[in-house]
Amino acid sequence: MSDALEVLDQVGKWKEAGKGVAVATVIVTWGSSPRPVGSQLGVDDSGAMVGSVSGGCIEGAVVKEALDAIKDGKPRLLDFGVSDEQAWDVGLACGGKVQVFVEKVN
Amino acid sequence: MKIETLAALQEARTKRRAVTLATRLSDAAEGLIYRDATAGELGGNAEIVAAAHRAMEIGRSETLDIGGQKVFLNVYVPPPRLVIVGAVHIAQTLAPMATMLEFDVTVVDPRGAWATSARFPGVKVIKEWADEAFQEMGLDVSTAVVTLTHDPKLDDPALESALKSEAFYIGALGSRKTHAKRKERLAEVGITEEMFARVQGPVGLNIGAKSPAEIAVSILGQIIEVRARRLGALAAPKVVAA
Protein backbone atom coordinates (compact mmCIF):
# COMPACT_ATOMS: atom_id res chain seq x y z
CA MET A 1 0.00 0.00 0.00
CA SER A 2 2.60 2.55 1.04
CA ASP A 3 4.60 1.39 -2.00
CA ALA A 4 1.71 2.18 -4.34
CA LEU A 5 1.38 5.67 -2.92
CA GLU A 6 5.11 6.24 -3.22
CA VAL A 7 4.75 5.35 -6.92
CA LEU A 8 1.91 7.83 -7.38
CA ASP A 9 3.89 10.58 -5.65
CA GLN A 10 6.86 10.07 -7.96
CA VAL A 11 4.59 9.85 -11.01
CA GLY A 12 3.04 13.18 -9.98
CA LYS A 13 6.50 14.76 -9.70
CA TRP A 14 7.53 13.48 -13.13
CA LYS A 15 4.35 14.87 -14.68
CA GLU A 16 4.93 18.23 -13.00
CA ALA A 17 8.43 18.23 -14.51
CA GLY A 18 6.80 17.78 -17.93
CA LYS A 19 7.89 14.19 -18.50
CA GLY A 20 5.98 11.46 -20.33
CA VAL A 21 4.92 8.88 -17.76
CA ALA A 22 3.25 5.45 -17.72
CA VAL A 23 2.00 3.30 -14.84
CA ALA A 24 2.07 -0.50 -14.85
CA THR A 25 -0.19 -2.35 -12.39
CA VAL A 26 -0.39 -6.03 -11.43
CA ILE A 27 -4.07 -6.80 -12.04
CA VAL A 28 -4.24 -10.62 -11.81
CA THR A 29 -1.94 -13.18 -10.21
CA TRP A 30 -1.97 -16.98 -10.27
CA GLY A 31 0.08 -19.12 -7.96
CA SER A 32 2.84 -17.70 -5.82
CA SER A 33 3.62 -14.52 -7.73
CA PRO A 34 6.17 -12.24 -6.11
CA ARG A 35 4.03 -9.08 -5.86
CA PRO A 36 0.34 -8.82 -4.96
CA VAL A 37 -2.49 -7.46 -7.12
CA GLY A 38 -2.39 -3.66 -7.08
CA SER A 39 1.42 -3.43 -7.05
CA GLN A 40 2.60 -0.67 -9.36
CA LEU A 41 5.62 0.42 -11.34
CA GLY A 42 5.93 3.99 -12.58
CA VAL A 43 8.12 4.65 -15.61
CA ASP A 44 9.20 7.96 -17.12
CA ASP A 45 10.17 8.64 -20.73
CA SER A 46 13.87 8.15 -19.92
CA GLY A 47 13.17 4.67 -18.55
CA ALA A 48 13.55 5.63 -14.86
CA MET A 49 11.47 3.40 -12.55
CA VAL A 50 9.73 3.66 -9.20
CA GLY A 51 8.03 0.76 -7.40
CA SER A 52 7.85 -2.82 -8.67
CA VAL A 53 5.54 -5.38 -10.30
CA SER A 54 7.72 -8.41 -9.61
CA GLY A 55 10.84 -9.33 -7.76
CA GLY A 56 12.82 -7.95 -10.69
CA CYS A 57 12.25 -10.62 -13.33
CA ILE A 58 9.74 -8.86 -15.60
CA GLU A 59 10.53 -5.18 -15.00
CA GLY A 60 12.72 -4.97 -18.10
CA ALA A 61 9.93 -6.12 -20.40
CA VAL A 62 7.35 -3.93 -18.63
CA VAL A 63 9.52 -0.82 -18.98
CA LYS A 64 9.85 -1.45 -22.73
CA GLU A 65 6.05 -1.66 -23.09
CA ALA A 66 5.63 1.39 -20.85
CA LEU A 67 7.91 3.44 -23.11
CA ASP A 68 5.80 2.36 -26.11
CA ALA A 69 2.61 3.30 -24.24
CA ILE A 70 4.06 6.77 -23.51
CA LYS A 71 4.69 7.18 -27.26
CA ASP A 72 1.38 5.91 -28.69
CA GLY A 73 -0.94 6.55 -25.71
CA LYS A 74 -2.55 3.11 -25.95
CA PRO A 75 -3.12 0.91 -22.88
CA ARG A 76 -1.61 -2.60 -22.88
CA LEU A 77 -2.36 -5.87 -21.17
CA LEU A 78 0.71 -8.07 -20.64
CA ASP A 79 0.84 -11.71 -19.57
CA PHE A 80 3.86 -13.18 -17.86
CA GLY A 81 4.38 -16.75 -16.83
CA VAL A 82 7.21 -17.14 -14.39
CA SER A 83 8.33 -20.74 -14.58
CA ASP A 84 10.08 -22.18 -11.57
CA GLU A 85 13.17 -22.66 -13.68
CA GLN A 86 13.25 -19.07 -14.95
CA ALA A 87 12.52 -17.85 -11.47
CA TRP A 88 15.46 -19.81 -10.15
CA ASP A 89 17.71 -18.36 -12.85
CA VAL A 90 17.03 -14.80 -11.71
CA GLY A 91 17.36 -15.72 -8.07
CA LEU A 92 13.66 -15.84 -7.22
CA ALA A 93 12.00 -18.96 -5.93
CA CYS A 94 8.61 -17.59 -6.87
CA GLY A 95 6.95 -19.28 -9.83
CA GLY A 96 3.38 -18.23 -10.69
CA LYS A 97 1.92 -15.94 -13.34
CA VAL A 98 1.04 -12.29 -13.46
CA GLN A 99 -1.03 -10.06 -15.71
CA VAL A 100 0.09 -6.44 -15.90
CA PHE A 101 -1.87 -3.45 -17.22
CA VAL A 102 0.20 -0.60 -18.64
CA GLU A 103 -1.25 2.84 -19.30
CA LYS A 104 -0.01 6.33 -20.02
CA VAL A 105 -0.67 9.10 -17.50
CA ASN A 106 -2.52 11.91 -19.30
CA MET B 1 -4.60 7.22 -15.80
CA LYS B 2 -5.64 10.85 -15.74
CA ILE B 3 -3.50 13.28 -13.79
CA GLU B 4 -6.69 14.47 -11.99
CA THR B 5 -7.25 10.87 -10.86
CA LEU B 6 -3.76 10.76 -9.42
CA ALA B 7 -4.39 14.01 -7.53
CA ALA B 8 -7.68 12.61 -6.17
CA LEU B 9 -5.90 9.46 -4.92
CA GLN B 10 -3.29 11.56 -3.16
CA GLU B 11 -5.97 13.75 -1.58
CA ALA B 12 -7.88 10.66 -0.36
CA ARG B 13 -4.75 9.43 1.38
CA THR B 14 -4.16 12.78 3.11
CA LYS B 15 -7.74 12.75 4.38
CA ARG B 16 -7.56 9.04 5.30
CA ARG B 17 -10.51 8.38 2.99
CA ALA B 18 -10.89 4.94 1.39
CA VAL B 19 -11.30 5.00 -2.40
CA THR B 20 -11.37 2.49 -5.25
CA LEU B 21 -10.08 3.33 -8.70
CA ALA B 22 -11.99 1.39 -11.38
CA THR B 23 -10.22 1.09 -14.74
CA ARG B 24 -11.76 -0.48 -17.85
CA LEU B 25 -8.92 -2.40 -19.45
CA SER B 26 -10.07 -2.02 -23.05
CA ASP B 27 -9.74 1.77 -23.14
CA ALA B 28 -8.40 2.85 -19.70
CA ALA B 29 -11.66 4.67 -18.87
CA GLU B 30 -11.79 5.44 -15.14
CA GLY B 31 -14.05 5.94 -12.18
CA LEU B 32 -13.37 6.81 -8.54
CA ILE B 33 -15.67 5.21 -6.00
CA TYR B 34 -15.70 6.42 -2.40
CA ARG B 35 -17.95 5.02 0.31
CA ASP B 36 -20.36 7.92 -0.11
CA ALA B 37 -19.57 9.39 -3.52
CA THR B 38 -18.39 8.63 -7.04
CA ALA B 39 -16.59 10.46 -9.81
CA GLY B 40 -15.49 9.85 -13.39
CA GLU B 41 -16.97 7.94 -16.32
CA LEU B 42 -17.22 4.53 -14.61
CA GLY B 43 -18.54 6.15 -11.41
CA GLY B 44 -21.98 6.17 -13.05
CA ASN B 45 -22.11 2.39 -13.52
CA ALA B 46 -24.16 0.88 -10.66
CA GLU B 47 -22.64 -2.58 -11.08
CA ILE B 48 -19.10 -1.25 -10.88
CA VAL B 49 -19.96 0.95 -7.89
CA ALA B 50 -21.45 -2.04 -6.02
CA ALA B 51 -18.40 -4.20 -6.80
CA ALA B 52 -16.07 -1.38 -5.69
CA HIS B 53 -17.90 -1.09 -2.36
CA ARG B 54 -17.45 -4.83 -1.79
CA ALA B 55 -13.76 -4.62 -2.73
CA MET B 56 -13.25 -1.76 -0.25
CA GLU B 57 -15.03 -3.72 2.45
CA ILE B 58 -12.51 -6.55 2.28
CA GLY B 59 -9.63 -4.31 1.20
CA ARG B 60 -8.79 -6.40 -1.85
CA SER B 61 -7.96 -5.20 -5.35
CA GLU B 62 -9.19 -7.44 -8.18
CA THR B 63 -10.09 -7.71 -11.85
CA LEU B 64 -13.76 -8.45 -12.59
CA ASP B 65 -15.85 -9.14 -15.64
CA ILE B 66 -18.59 -6.55 -15.60
CA GLY B 67 -21.09 -6.45 -18.45
CA GLY B 68 -18.67 -8.32 -20.72
CA GLN B 69 -15.86 -5.85 -20.00
CA LYS B 70 -12.79 -6.46 -17.85
CA VAL B 71 -12.58 -3.86 -15.10
CA PHE B 72 -9.73 -3.59 -12.61
CA LEU B 73 -10.66 -2.35 -9.15
CA ASN B 74 -7.66 -0.94 -7.29
CA VAL B 75 -8.47 -0.39 -3.64
CA TYR B 76 -6.65 2.40 -1.81
CA VAL B 77 -7.36 2.14 1.89
CA PRO B 78 -5.65 4.44 4.37
CA PRO B 79 -2.56 2.94 6.09
CA PRO B 80 -3.40 1.18 9.35
CA ARG B 81 -3.28 3.41 12.39
CA LEU B 82 -2.58 2.50 15.99
CA VAL B 83 -3.91 4.77 18.69
CA ILE B 84 -2.32 4.10 22.08
CA VAL B 85 -4.20 5.48 25.07
CA GLY B 86 -1.78 6.05 27.93
CA ALA B 87 1.72 7.41 27.43
CA VAL B 88 3.01 4.77 29.83
CA HIS B 89 6.08 2.53 29.96
CA ILE B 90 4.62 -0.19 27.69
CA ALA B 91 3.61 2.50 25.18
CA GLN B 92 7.26 3.55 24.89
CA THR B 93 8.06 0.11 23.50
CA LEU B 94 4.78 -0.47 21.66
CA ALA B 95 4.99 2.80 19.69
CA PRO B 96 8.37 2.23 17.97
CA MET B 97 7.56 -1.46 17.30
CA ALA B 98 4.26 -0.48 15.65
CA THR B 99 6.08 2.16 13.60
CA MET B 100 8.41 -0.56 12.31
CA LEU B 101 5.30 -2.46 11.22
CA GLU B 102 4.27 0.64 9.20
CA PHE B 103 1.44 1.66 11.48
CA ASP B 104 0.69 5.34 11.72
CA VAL B 105 1.06 5.67 15.52
CA THR B 106 -0.61 8.22 17.80
CA VAL B 107 -0.23 8.32 21.59
CA VAL B 108 -3.05 9.96 23.54
CA ASP B 109 -2.81 10.95 27.20
CA PRO B 110 -4.18 14.06 28.95
CA ARG B 111 -1.41 13.95 31.55
CA GLY B 112 1.27 16.44 30.54
CA ALA B 113 4.10 14.75 32.43
CA TRP B 114 3.56 11.56 30.41
CA ALA B 115 2.53 12.82 27.01
CA THR B 116 5.79 14.40 25.89
CA SER B 117 7.58 14.16 22.55
CA ALA B 118 10.81 13.46 24.44
CA ARG B 119 9.33 10.18 25.70
CA PHE B 120 7.98 9.33 22.21
CA PRO B 121 10.43 10.50 19.56
CA GLY B 122 9.03 10.46 16.04
CA VAL B 123 5.46 9.63 17.13
CA LYS B 124 2.36 11.85 17.21
CA VAL B 125 1.54 12.70 20.82
CA ILE B 126 -1.83 14.24 21.67
CA LYS B 127 -2.26 15.74 25.15
CA GLU B 128 -6.02 15.37 25.42
CA TRP B 129 -8.70 13.10 26.85
CA ALA B 130 -9.05 10.12 24.54
CA ASP B 131 -12.74 10.56 23.71
CA GLU B 132 -12.10 14.17 22.66
CA ALA B 133 -9.02 13.23 20.65
CA PHE B 134 -10.96 10.40 18.93
CA GLN B 135 -13.66 12.81 17.80
CA GLU B 136 -11.08 15.00 16.12
CA MET B 137 -9.13 12.19 14.42
CA GLY B 138 -12.11 9.97 13.55
CA LEU B 139 -11.52 6.25 14.14
CA ASP B 140 -11.97 4.48 10.80
CA VAL B 141 -11.97 0.79 9.78
CA SER B 142 -8.20 0.75 9.52
CA THR B 143 -7.63 1.98 13.07
CA ALA B 144 -6.59 -0.12 16.07
CA VAL B 145 -7.03 1.23 19.61
CA VAL B 146 -5.21 -0.03 22.69
CA THR B 147 -5.77 1.32 26.20
CA LEU B 148 -2.84 0.95 28.57
CA THR B 149 -3.43 3.31 31.50
CA HIS B 150 -5.06 0.88 33.99
CA ASP B 151 -6.98 3.94 35.16
CA PRO B 152 -10.76 3.65 34.61
CA LYS B 153 -11.15 7.40 34.38
CA LEU B 154 -8.83 7.42 31.37
CA ASP B 155 -9.48 3.98 29.84
CA ASP B 156 -13.28 3.81 30.16
CA PRO B 157 -14.21 6.88 28.11
CA ALA B 158 -11.66 5.79 25.50
CA LEU B 159 -13.20 2.32 25.21
CA GLU B 160 -16.74 3.69 25.19
CA SER B 161 -15.85 6.02 22.34
CA ALA B 162 -13.85 3.37 20.44
CA LEU B 163 -16.72 0.88 20.69
CA LYS B 164 -18.99 3.35 18.94
CA SER B 165 -16.48 3.67 16.07
CA GLU B 166 -15.53 1.41 13.15
CA ALA B 167 -12.08 0.59 14.65
CA PHE B 168 -11.02 -2.90 13.52
CA TYR B 169 -9.26 -3.71 16.78
CA ILE B 170 -9.87 -2.59 20.34
CA GLY B 171 -7.68 -3.92 23.13
CA ALA B 172 -7.50 -3.10 26.84
CA LEU B 173 -4.62 -3.91 29.16
CA GLY B 174 -5.63 -5.47 32.47
CA SER B 175 -6.24 -8.83 34.15
CA ARG B 176 -9.38 -10.93 33.71
CA LYS B 177 -10.67 -9.48 36.98
CA THR B 178 -10.01 -5.91 35.87
CA HIS B 179 -11.63 -6.70 32.54
CA ALA B 180 -14.79 -8.07 34.21
CA LYS B 181 -15.11 -4.92 36.33
CA ARG B 182 -14.58 -2.80 33.25
CA LYS B 183 -17.44 -4.60 31.54
CA GLU B 184 -19.74 -3.84 34.49
CA ARG B 185 -18.81 -0.15 34.50
CA LEU B 186 -19.31 0.21 30.76
CA ALA B 187 -22.69 -1.56 30.97
CA GLU B 188 -23.83 1.40 33.06
CA VAL B 189 -23.16 3.78 30.18
CA GLY B 190 -25.03 1.60 27.69
CA ILE B 191 -22.29 -0.70 26.35
CA THR B 192 -24.07 -4.04 25.95
CA GLU B 193 -22.36 -7.39 26.40
CA GLU B 194 -22.43 -7.88 22.64
CA MET B 195 -20.71 -4.54 22.03
CA PHE B 196 -18.16 -5.19 24.78
CA ALA B 197 -17.22 -8.51 23.17
CA ARG B 198 -15.23 -6.49 20.61
CA VAL B 199 -12.72 -5.54 23.30
CA GLN B 200 -9.69 -7.85 23.42
CA GLY B 201 -9.00 -8.31 27.11
CA PRO B 202 -6.72 -9.36 28.63
CA VAL B 203 -5.04 -7.74 25.65
CA GLY B 204 -2.66 -9.58 23.30
CA LEU B 205 -1.87 -13.12 22.26
CA ASN B 206 -1.29 -15.58 25.08
CA ILE B 207 2.47 -16.03 24.72
CA GLY B 208 3.39 -15.65 28.37
CA ALA B 209 4.51 -12.05 27.86
CA LYS B 210 5.99 -10.38 30.94
CA SER B 211 8.31 -7.50 30.02
CA PRO B 212 6.99 -4.34 28.28
CA ALA B 213 8.64 -5.44 25.03
CA GLU B 214 7.10 -8.91 25.24
CA ILE B 215 3.68 -7.42 25.97
CA ALA B 216 4.12 -5.11 22.96
CA VAL B 217 4.91 -8.13 20.76
CA SER B 218 1.84 -9.99 22.04
CA ILE B 219 -0.42 -6.96 21.36
CA LEU B 220 1.00 -6.37 17.88
CA GLY B 221 0.78 -10.10 17.09
CA GLN B 222 -2.90 -10.01 17.93
CA ILE B 223 -3.49 -6.85 15.89
CA ILE B 224 -1.78 -8.46 12.88
CA GLU B 225 -3.87 -11.60 13.32
CA VAL B 226 -7.18 -9.73 13.59
CA ARG B 227 -6.31 -7.60 10.61
CA ALA B 228 -5.24 -10.55 8.45
CA ARG B 229 -8.45 -12.38 9.29
CA ARG B 230 -10.51 -9.34 8.38
CA LEU B 231 -8.70 -9.05 5.05
CA GLY B 232 -9.26 -12.75 4.38
CA ALA B 233 -5.54 -13.54 4.50
CA LEU B 234 -6.16 -16.15 7.17
CA ALA B 235 -8.54 -18.77 5.83
CA ALA B 236 -10.00 -20.61 8.80
CA PRO B 237 -10.54 -19.13 12.24
CA LYS B 238 -7.98 -20.54 14.63
CA VAL B 239 -9.19 -21.89 17.94
CA VAL B 240 -6.97 -20.49 20.67
CA ALA B 241 -6.74 -22.66 23.76
CA ALA B 242 -7.85 -20.86 26.88
d(CA B107, CA B115): 8
Which residues have a Cβ under 8 Å from the Cβ of A52 and sit 6 or more positions away?
Answer: A3, A35, A39, A41, A59
Domains of chain B: 3-76 (no CATH), 81-230 (3.40.50.720)
**List of chain B residues whose C-beta atoms are within 8 Å of the C-beta of residue A25:** 72, 74
**Structural domain containing residue A46:** 2-104
**Strands A49-51 and B169-172, how do they pair?**
unpaired
Of A38-47, A86-95, B88-97, B201-210, give the lowest mean pLDDT range. A86-95
Q: Provide the percentage of residues in chain A whose pLDDT is more than 70.
A: 82
Residue of B nearest to A9 (CA): B10
Name which of B21, B54, B104, B64 is nearest A40 in CA terms.
B21
Predicted confidence (pLDDT) per residue in B57-73, tens digit? 877 899 999 989 999 99
Percentage of residues in chain B with pLDDT exceeding 90?
Answer: 81
As for how many domains chain A has, the answer is 1
Residue B101 sits at the chain A interface (C-beta within 8 Å): no
Instruction: Tell me the C-alpha distance between A23 and B196, whole Å.
Output: 45
DSSP state of B239: P
Q: What is the distance in angstroms between the CA of the first residue and the CA of the last residue of chain A? A: 23
Report the distance separating Cα A104 and Cα A71, nearest Å: 9
Chain B residues lying within 8 Å of A72, measured CB to CB: none
Q: Do B101 and B224 form a contact (C-beta atoms < 8 A)?
A: yes
- Residue B154's pLDDT is 95
pLDDT over 60 (residue A84): no
